Amino acid sequence: MNKIRKGDQVIVTTGRDKGKRGTVTQRVDDEHIVVEGVNVVKKHVKPNPLKGTTGGVIDKAMPIHQSNVAIWNAATGKADRVGFKLLSAEEKAARKTKDNAVRVYRSSGEEIKA
């Protein structure tokens, strides 16, 4: 189970984009994520008439390592760490889920709604 998932609000903790906040748009692999508006580079693309794209220079968000971001806790207004809380059998049945745990903020212990 990943601590950071698609759709989470995160804040960048290191690198040239330190302090920027954004939404996770994609998980590239187990360790890399793409965050909206973070690690943006200029990419030169060729025109492709079959796809209907024009050539030129575009801005593209590149992947960033997940250890360089922290989840954003809106209640406290700060970055937070992620923990897991194990569910009991009746809680698991009530949620109708196959997961045995839910993600929680480490500082407050409240569940992360994603």
Average pLDDT for residues 90-103, to the nearest whole number? Answer: 83
Which letter does DSSP use for residue 114 in this model? -
**Residue 14 domain flag:** yes
The pTM of the full predicted model, rounded to 2 decimals, is 0.84
pLDDT given at position 30: 95
**Residue 4 domain flag:** no
pLDDT given at position 90: 83
**Residue 114 domain flag:** no
Looking at the 3D structure of the chain, how many domains does it have? 1
**Residue 26 domain flag:** yes
**Residue 111 domain flag:** no
Return the closest-CA partner of residue 30 out of 70, 67, 79: 67
**Residue 3 domain flag:** no
**Residue 110 domain flag:** no
pLDDT given at position 61: 96
In tens, the pLDDT along 6-59 reads 999 999 999 999 999 999 999 999 999 999 999 999 999 999 999 998 999 999
CATH of the domain at 77: 2.30.30.30
**Residue 2 domain flag:** no
pLDDT given at position 94: 83
CA angle 98, 102, 108 (to 5 degrees): 170
Sequence-separated (6 or more) residues with CB below 8 Å from residue 20: 11, 12, 37, 38
The whole domain housing 65 covers 9-105
